[in-house]
Chain A
Amino acid sequence: MKKKSRVVEYNKWGYIFLIPFLVIYTIFQLVPLITTIYNSFFENYRAGLTQVGPNFVGLANYGKLFSGGDLSKYFGNTMIMWVIGFVPQIIFSLLLGAWFTDPSLRLKCQRFFKTVIYLPNLIMASAFAMLFFTLFSDSGPINSILMNLHIISQPYKFMSHVASVRGLVGFMNFIMWFGNTTILLMAGMMGIDPSLFEAAQVDGATATQIFWKITLPLLRPILIYTLVTSLIGGMQMFDVPQILTNGHGDPNRSAMTMIMYLNNHLYSKNYGMGGALSVILFIITAILSIIVFRVTGNNEKVK
């Protein structure tokens, strides 16, 4: 009897320490989430300075989004550009992480390199995109260099070709985020018991074998974390393509992401359509996260 009450006593502190989180979560996450869902059922926008609505319209906003037929296109654009950036990002990060943590390599100036690869992440994404916009403009430095080297005779219009625009967006995301991922993966790699590596070496495993058979499997939780956060971040891709394409997502909206589309609706404070789009985005993100967890994390439970 006495013992139980003491446990309750201790539990109380747990709840007290949770209060700040719960309050902040409720105010800044839960309430906006619910009002977003609520807003998505209303016609609510501004025509000039005149407020239209809010009028309850049921699922009309969702109907409009799906009947337009462009939603899947923007979703596809977002995912393609995310993959273009994520694949090189994870490869480079794994490689760099493995090198940095490998004690037998004894890399010098580790701190310096870790700082340098993290630096691009400190630049504001919009400034970075602005820089690329100038570099790759029709009469920009990249074109002049290529022309002076006689690789091309006419300026290549980087902003007018689907592949180059998407490629540039992916490349920028890669440059910006590979340092961050490297640091994360390194933390994971350093968490692996060194005796496992030593044992493998004693057994005569090569560096490649150690990487594939020991490092990677034990890194799985961190990899999943990286994948999920990057995926969610990728779904919310906005500033880089927005600035690079001047908000138009051209050519032919092939670089228009979901959030850029959302941003178009906010021009007229269209909370109805914006809300509906956000709800769809929320559902997609949830589904993708569940899929990732199922595919990569199932074995844990079986064990």
Chain B
Amino acid sequence: MKKQLLSALICASMVAGTLAGAGAVFADDAAEGSVLNIYAWNTEFQERLVEFYPGYEEVDATHGKIGDVDVVWTIVPSAENAYQNNLDEHLLAQADAAADDKIDLFLLESDYALKYVDTEFTMPIADLGITDEDTADQYQYTKDIVTDSNGNLKGLSWQGCPGVLIYNRAIASEVLGTEDPAEVQEFVKDWDSFNETAAKMGEAGYKMTATVNDTYRVYSDNVSGPLVQDDKIIIDPQIEKWIDDSKALVDAGLTGTGDLWGDDWSKGFYPEGKVFCYFGPAWFVDFCMAADDEASIAHAGGWGAAEGPQGFCWGGTWIAAATGTDNASLVKDIMLQLTCNADIMKQIVIEKNDFVNNKKAMEEMAADESYGDAVLGGQNPLPMFCAGAENCDKSKVSAYDQGYTEKLQAAAKNYFEGNSTKEEAIDAFYTAVEEIYPNLSH
């Protein structure tokens, strides 16, 4: 509580200079619309807005106030596609909705961003009055994902999500004889080394990864082209390599076949899980590895970060403005404050250990010797993240990545567990994808 108060004070003082201008903006909003409708699938963005947006007052879990404007949150979880189903219905009804019911701002994930970005339902941010200059410090890949086929930038993110290999320091020193990030990297520098190291882990009684799906993002982020081209489903060589490598690891007992986020997967966050490594970006390290739990490895700072076999990016949340919004200037200000204001973004890094979408701020912090992540035993992973974000290439995303990923992992699981052959698994994958996307074929 004290900490929140402090951060609110810091924020308030930081933007004191711009408050006069902000006041003017609020006055305009009253003329624009009195309700700001925000659609999201979890509370991450809400927490950011509550803590870091100047002038945001929290009313209750789904309501807030910015000046005279009521903020209404509609939070629907992503599970079973519920978030998108709800969002789709409201977007399609947007034109006929009353001004106060219109969606003003909604959030997107990279796996399906194109589904919305490449339509009339999202506004180019240039139309809101956000210039290239405002977004100059943002990482290019975060813009590529939300750029439509006509080259319009349709959303902004406050996060960068370059991923690293997160290894268990205790296991590294026992099996590899070192826990130094640079030396550990030598053991996992490409997939051949990675798989050799996996065999060593097996001999010592450890698993390399918790499940085969841990490495999926690393392989799939380095594909040679979009996974769906001209409505044809493509099995990229990288995807095939993931299937083959994973099968070998499963057969050797070096990894499991559980789903991500499942119980079998998260066992490795604790010492008795005996898992050597996970893959993930900054948000994964700080939010997902059970750092609040005293028994966890993360709580004891027992993880280390190395670049891993290939660079990749995973996740991230984009803010998009809905066409037809009646709060354009407020939406613009939220985007500017949370994704372009370097001071606020630095504050997010310090308080939340998030990796923010601001090159200058991140490079500054990367060079800062005093900054370290407690989960990673005080290691400063930012230089690694900075390099990763620079190299990240998201020009090959397709609008179907979400369904593709989900169905591929499910179908391949049958192959990994010996219930089907590889060909049968791929056929089952085609069937499953074509069921949910009837316009696709293979």
Interface, chain A (partner B; CB < 8 A) = 45-50, 52, 68, 70, 134, 137-140, 157, 160, 162, 246-248, 250-253, 264-265, 267-268, 270, 273
Contact = CB atoms under 8 A, between A and B. Distances in A.
Contacts of B438: 45, 47, 52, 265, 268, 270, 273
Nearest to A265: B435
B410 A268 contact: no
B162 to A, nearest CB: 28
Given A49-B88, A137-B264, 12 more contacts: A49-B92, A52-B438, A140-B263, A160-B257, A246-B259, A247-B80, A248-B432, A251-B417, A252-B419, A252-B424, A252-B428, A253-B428
Please provide the 7 A-B residue pairs with the shortest distance between their CB atoms, ordered closest to farther. A267-B436, A251-B419, A248-B410, A264-B435, A47-B439, A48-B115, A160-B417
A160 B264 CA distance: 14
B4 interface: no
B263 A48 contact: no
Interface string B94-125: 00000000000000000000011011010000
A159 to B, nearest CB: 9
A138 B410 contact: no
B420 A70 contact: no
Nearest to B267: A139
Contacts of A250: 410, 413-414, 419
B263 A49 contact: no
7 contacts: A47-B438, A48-B399, A49-B88, A49-B92, A140-B263, A251-B419, A252-B420
A264 B262 contact: no
B431 interface: yes
Given A250-B413, A268-B438, A49 B115 contact: yes
Contacts of A264: 432, 435-436
Contacts of A48: 115, 118-119, 399
B287 interface: no
A265 B432 CA distance: 10
A49 B91 contact: yes
A47 B258 contact: no
Contact of A137 (B262, B413, B435): B262
Helix, strand, loop or mixed for chain A's interface? loop
B414 A251 contact: yes
Contact of B263 (A134, A251, A252): A134
A49 B267 CA distance: 39
A87 to B, nearest CB: 26
B81 interface: yes
A252 B411 CA distance: 8
Given A48-B115, A250-B413, A268-B436, A138 B256 contact: yes
A268 B424 CA distance: 24
B419 to A, nearest CB: 4
Contacts of A273: 438
A166 to B, nearest CB: 13
Interface size classification for chain B: 35 or more
Contacts of B80: 247
Contacts of B118: 48
Does more than half of chain B's interface fall in helix, strand or loop, or is it mixed?
helix
Interface string B293-329: 0000000000000000000000000000000000000
Nearest to A246: B259
Interface in B231-289: 256-259, 262-264, 267
A227 B256 CA distance: 42
B435 A267 contact: yes
Contact of B81 (A248, A251, A267): A267
Given A47-B438, A49-B91, A252-B420, A138 B431 contact: no
Nearest to A162: B419
Contacts of B262: 137
B419 A137 contact: no
Contacts of B121: 49
A47 B264 contact: no
Contacts of A247: 80
A135 B267 CA distance: 15
A138 B257 CA distance: 10
Contacts of A49: 88, 91-92, 115-116, 119, 121
Contacts of A50: 119
Contacts of B116: 49
Nearest to B420: A252
Interface centre among A68, A140, A248, A264 (most CB of B within 10 A): A248
Nearest to A261: B435
B437 A47 contact: yes
A131 to B, nearest CB: 13
A65 to B, nearest CB: 11
Contacts of B428: 252-253
Interface in B117-163: 118-119, 121
Nearest to A243: B80
A21 B241 CA distance: 61
Contacts of B419: 160, 162, 250-252
Contacts of A138: 256, 258, 264
Contacts of B420: 251-252
A82 B438 CA distance: 30
Contacts of A45: 438-439
B115 A52 contact: no
A270 B437 CA distance: 9
Name which of A49, A251, A264, A267 has the most chain B CB atoms within 10 A of its CB: A49
A68 to B, nearest CB: 8
A137 B266 CA distance: 13
A162 B420 CA distance: 12
A139 B259 CA distance: 13
Contacts of A52: 438-439
Contacts of B119: 48-50
A253 B410 CA distance: 10
A205 B88 CA distance: 68
B414 A252 contact: yes
A70 B435 CA distance: 12
Contacts of A160: 257, 413, 417, 419
A247 B410 CA distance: 10
A75 B222 CA distance: 40
B258 to A, nearest CB: 6
Interface string B383-425: 0000000000000000100010000001001100101100010
A160 to B, nearest CB: 5
